[in-house]
Amino acid sequence: MKQFAYFPGCSLEKIALSYNQSTVETTKVVGIELKELEDWNCCGATAYFHVDELLAYTLCARNLAMAEKENLDLVAPCSACFKNSYFTNQALKKDPDLAEHINVALQEDDLHFSGSIEVKHLLEVFVKDVGFEEVKAQVTHPLEGLRVAAYYGCQIMRPRKDHEDVEQPVFFEGLMAAIGAEPVPFPLRLTCCGGSLLISSREAALSMIHNLLKNADDNGAAVIATACPLCQINLECYQPQVNQEYGTNYHIPVVYFTQLVGLAFGLPDKAIGLGSELISATPLAQYAA
Amino acid sequence: MSEKVGVYICHCGSNIAGVVDVEEVAKWAGENIENVTVSRDYKFMCSSLGQALIEDDIKNEGLTRVVVGACSPHLHEKTFRRACSNAGLNPYLCQMASLREQVSWVVEDKQAATAKAKAMISGAVRRVQLQEELEPTEVPVNPATLIVGAGIAGIQAALELADGGYPVYLVEREPSIGGHMAQFDKTFPTLDCAACILTPRMSEVGAHTNITMMTYSEVEELTGFVGSFHARIKKKARFVNEEACTGCGICIEKCPKKVIDDVFEVGMGMRKSIYRSFPQAVPNTPVIDTESCIYFERGKCKACELFCPTNAIDFEQKDTYLDLDVGNVILATGYDLFDVKKMPQYGYGRLANVFTSLEFERMCNASGPTDGKIVLRDGVTEPESVAIVHCVGSRDENHNKYCSSICCMSALKFGHLVMEKTGAEVHSCYIDMRTNQKGYEEFYQRLLGEGMHFIRGKVADVTDAARIKEEEGKLIVQVEDTLLGKQRRIPVDMVILMAALEPRYDARDVGLKFGISCSMEGWFTERHPKLDPVATMTDGIFIAGAAQGPKDIPATVVQGAAASARVQGMISSGMVKIEPVVATIDEERCSGCRICNNLCPFNAIEFLAEKEVSFINTVLCKGCGTCVAACPAQAISGAHYSNAQIFAEIEGLLYDVYSSNGHKTAQPEIESVPA
């Protein structure tokens, strides 16, 4: 059994509860043990790095140091948590002066950053640490004929990592194919969902969401799979507003990839948080265990 | 008997004198350094009056050694050695100290610069007294030349040499000569057709009595040295007897197997299994592609053999090897195109109507796969709008940092051809428009007048994900127009990617084979970027054309001609002088360990099995000193760079720290000498 330090992040506590549930359940099936950090804190989300970089680094470094104490690589299911933790880990490894500075603050908590672990997104754990073969082996209810738009969002592929195709990645589609679903072409799969732009510029954000929904719909997607709570909220909750603004009639369920994986593994709906959607995931009903 | 050293400090106008107190250095050297008989400073030592100073002093003062503190020896070492030689002093008894490049140009503080100049002169004076008289060896030059690569650079070089009356062996990897230029349609900025200007030269090569053309051939090995190289050429089997074949083409007509032509037509068109690359191919003898030929696959067919009127088809033909003796080599191996699939954001291979620049060239070409019609991938629809993406793989930190230099002009040419042939709207997305040769800027102005749209910005993305009705079914080019400061989405029918020029995929191996070096990117390195652009650090090996770096046709032709002029110079002088600064092995001390054998970058060291010692071929040796440093038995010594000479120079440089007997002096003259 492979162990990881688990950093669920604020969203998964409440608004993305189903992501948390399905993550915990599906990882169990493929033999991954997630040990939740005992006293994790917010990653700073999309805003804090622009307000105070040093403090933002410190915030993330605290989570990293806790994972280091356990001697486990850190896994985040939320793309913002992943991106901030990954960036911080890279920045502090590269700049020993900065790390030393931050370690003074961490000392208060009896913690120390040394750069001994890696930060991974949950999707990466399924793709690389578990692998498509193992995923396939656990599938009992393949999602045959389910047309899925695999939506990466913008934060998983940036920062650029070595030897990875950041422009046209295909691993998310690969995972969807591994559970028997049919990934559709989705050219805008790396394009931003608008993030927190809805707060400051509703018009611009709705246009970005509209582009994504239109692109998924044009390509015949029955469902959009996401790997980020913010993407999920933007694409799902604002569909009615997009419809109103653009005169469209979209009704596309937006679920977490772990929910689809769980469905294929034959886990009951309740265990993977299905049934709490705003846009009911009816296309998934036929695959239920 | 002690030596009599003359020291000459050059002002180089104000280049040196502006920073270094040259009078003080000259005076100090004359008064303080042992064995300095004469010490002078002069405005320009390289002038004829400056040289005369040295010559007169050698004659009148009986100087036995000369030190010139001036520019880098790269520039004027020959000048001062010649001056010594004129006055009867062996030229290798002259030493230069680089007071300009290593002192006045890099040290700002005048006092520190003067101190450093003194140290360098002191080092040179100590060293020069231990230098020995050396004599260059002379070897004859074989008048035949080997030219590798028969694109326009190789063709130009071959014709110039052959017209001059010298024999040329022209080796080409592909079945026909012509290179990339044969694939093009029009040439910028004059828009004359590439084939119309190239094919006459090709047939001239084919008919020239002084040119031995070897197509479908490669150089296997090159040994020897300037003046007398030996090359082994592999002639790949064509399965068509070149003497018997008349080039009638019936075999091609009758061949039942059609395959995609990935080389000449870059995947845009078909050819038969027996084929010639293009109608005007030289030689016109076809080749059989064994990978697709039905006979080679299944042992049956031989349609070509059946119909050939001269019995030229020979399925039993084997690769043959030829050994050539040549005096010089010109490498004109050209370039490869950047693989645009490395930039998946531009959609090549995924979005049908994204084309590479070379594909577009073939499409425009009247004898190309679409008979010169500009159409979408479906083969019939004319585009109504076209976007040209510049700098695909060029000027890009992730791929190639350099500018590929020809793409801006090609893009303008493409724009003109699209508008002329289809009337479509053309959008060119560029980073900077680079049109800096004769007639080029005028061509840009012409296209501005013709109504081509120019958008200054690097394209972010090419996608088929439409946002609005006008974008449906189109390719959308997402680009920031940096002059407007706005993001733009341009819906078009066709996208052309101006792919970067890259070194040949095997350029490094070719470099090794011919004993020359490549730049970081893989372009062949010239001896001097400005003053010796077609020679290399290996005597007798010259480079020409895009193998040295991205360049357009005029510049390529210039280099082909320049390389042939250099070779003609070597041939007409008949003999070549070989620099005597070489390493030699003391057989008594050599243990035969062979460590040096593989270290030599010039393949100059061989192992004499009988004597069990290594031996340096002094004609090949460049005196780099690698083996000297590596030899564990100190059996190798480098002429002009002996241990004694180098240590003397170091001691001289440290004159203010160490006294002449090697003990530290109590009070250094200057507290800190800048590095």
Question: Is the pLDDT score of A163 beyond 60?
Answer: no
Q: Give A-chain residues touching B350 at CB under 8 angstroms.
A: 168
Query: In the structure, what pLDDT confidence band is assigned to residue B603 with cuts at 50, 70 and 90?
Result: confident
Q: What is the pLDDT of residues B217-255, one digit of tens each?
A: 999 999 888 999 999 999 999 999 999 999 999 999 999
pLDDT of residue B101: 95
Q: What is the ipTM of this complex?
A: 0.72
Q: Which of A262, A29, A225, A4 has its CA nearest to residue A120? A: A4
With contact defined as beta carbons under 8 Å apart, do B176 and B276 qualify?
yes
- In DSSP terms, B392 is beta-bridged to B499
Task: State the residue range of the domain holding A169.
Answer: 141-287
Tokens representing A81? Answer: 């948590």
Q: Give B-chain residues touching A208 at CB under 8 angstroms.
A: none
With contact defined as beta carbons under 8 Å apart, do B661 and B651 qualify?
no
What is the rounded CA–CA span in Å between residue A204 and residue B655?
74
CA–CA–CA angle B465, B471, B472 (5° rounding): 75
For chain B, the residues whose C-beta falls within 8 A of a C-beta of chain A are 343-345, 350, 463-467
**Alpha carbon distances (Å) from B112 to B18, B26, B107, B651, B654:** 13, 16, 7, 19, 14
Domain stops at, among A67, A90, A122: A122
pLDDT of residue A161: 62
In a domain, A136, yes or no: no
What is the rounded CA–CA span in Å between residue B402 and residue B122?
43
Chain A CA closest to residue B351: A187
Q: Give B-chain residues touching A165 at CB under 8 angstroms.
A: 344
Mean pLDDT lowest among A98-107, B464-473, B659-668: B659-668
With contact defined as beta carbons under 8 Å apart, do B564 and B599 qualify?
no
Buried b (16+ CB within 10 A) or exposed e, A123-142: bbbbbebbebeebeebbebe
Asked if CATH classification 3.40.50.12780 holds for the domain at B144-231+320-334+505-575, the reply, yes or no, is no
Q: What is the pLDDT of residues B364-415, one digit of tens each?
A: 998 899 999 999 999 999 999 999 999 999 999 999 999 999 999 999 999 9
Give the global pTM. Answer: 0.80
What is the rounded CA–CA span in Å between residue A247 and residue B397?
43
Average pLDDT over chain A reads: 93
pLDDT of residue B95: 97
Tokens representing B592? Answer: 């035969």
List Cβ neighbours of A232 (8 Å cut-off, separation of 6 or more): A16, A19, A226, A254, A255, A256
Per DSSP, the three-state class of B347 is: coil
Average pLDDT over chain B reads: 93
Write the CATH number for A281. Answer: 3.40.50.11810
Query: In the structure, what pLDDT confidence band is assigned to residue B670 with cuts at 50, 70 and 90?
Result: very low
Q: What is the pLDDT of residues B149-166, one digit of tens each?
A: 999 999 999 999 999 999
Torsion, CA A165, CA A169, CA A170, CA A173, rounded to 10: 160
Mean pLDDT lowest among A152-166, A189-203, B320-334, B468-482: A152-166
Same domain, A23 and A60: yes
pLDDT of residue B666: 43
Query: In the structure, what pLDDT confidence band is assigned to residue A159 with cuts at 50, 70 and 90?
Result: low
| Residue extents of the structural domains in chain B | 5-134, 144-231+320-334+505-575, 250-307, 338-502, 579-639
pLDDT of residue A157: 86
In a domain, A127, yes or no: no
Q: Do A214 and B350 touch (CB under 8 A)?
A: no
Same domain, A97 and A179: no
**Pairing assessment for the beta strands A2-6 and A74-76 based on DSSP bridges:** parallel
CB of A214 within 8 Å of any CB in chain B? yes
Asked if CATH classification 3.40.630.30 holds for the domain at B338-502, the reply, yes or no, is no
- In DSSP terms, B495 is beta-bridged to B354, B387
How many inter-chain contacts (A to B, CB under 8 Å) are there? 20
The number of domains in chain A is 2
Question: Is the pLDDT score of B468 beyond 70?
Answer: yes
In a domain, A260, yes or no: yes
Listing DSSP states for B168-188 in one string gives: EEEE-SSSSS-GGGGG-SEET
Kindly report the nearest CA distance between residue B458 and chain A, in angstroms.
Answer: 16
Query: In the structure, what pLDDT confidence band is assigned to residue B601 with cuts at 50, 70 and 90?
Result: confident
Same domain, A85 and A172: no
What is the rounded CA–CA span in Å between residue B129 and residue B5?
8
Q: How many CB atoms lie within 10 A of CB B60?
A: 10
Q: Do A218 and B350 touch (CB under 8 A)?
A: no
Kindly report the nearest CA distance between residue A207 and chain B, in angstroms.
Answer: 9
Question: Is the pLDDT score of B673 beyond 80?
Answer: no
Question: Is the pLDDT score of B672 beyond 90?
Answer: no
For CA atoms B30, B33, B36, B41, the dihedral sign is negative
In a domain, A60, yes or no: yes
Q: What is the pLDDT of residues B197-214, one digit of tens each?
A: 999 999 999 999 999 999
Domain stops at, among A122, A155, A185: A122
pLDDT of residue B668: 44
Q: What is the pLDDT of residues B479-497, one digit of tens each?
A: 999 999 999 999 999 999 9
Q: How many CB atoms lie within 10 A of CB B472?
A: 11
Q: Which whole number is the average pLDDT over B539-543?
A: 96
Same domain, A111 and A165: no
Mean pLDDT lowest among A149-163, B111-125, B238-252: A149-163
What is the CATH number that goes with domain B579-639? Answer: 3.30.70.20
In a domain, A264, yes or no: yes
Residue from A207, A208, A215, A217 whose CB has the most chain B CBs within 10 Å, to mutate: A215
Q: How many CB atoms lie within 10 A of CB B478?
A: 17
Domain stops at, among A61, A89, A122: A122
Q: Does the fold of domain B579-639 match that of domain B338-502?
A: no
What is the rounded CA–CA span in Å between residue B258 and residue B592?
59
Chain B CA closest to residue A188: B465
In a domain, A201, yes or no: yes
pLDDT of residue A285: 86
Write the CATH number for A117. Answer: 1.20.1050.140
What is the rounded CA–CA span in Å between residue B285 and residue B357?
29
pLDDT of residue A115: 94
What is the rounded CA–CA span in Å between residue B510 and residue B506?
6
Same domain, A175 and A93: no
What is the CATH number that goes with domain B5-134? Answer: 3.40.50
Same domain, A107 and A166: no
Minimal Cβ distance to A165: which of B344, B466, B467: B344
pLDDT of residue A162: 61
Same domain, A115 and A237: no
Chain A CA closest to residue B466: A215
pLDDT of residue B74: 84
In a domain, A64, yes or no: yes
pLDDT of residue A167: 82
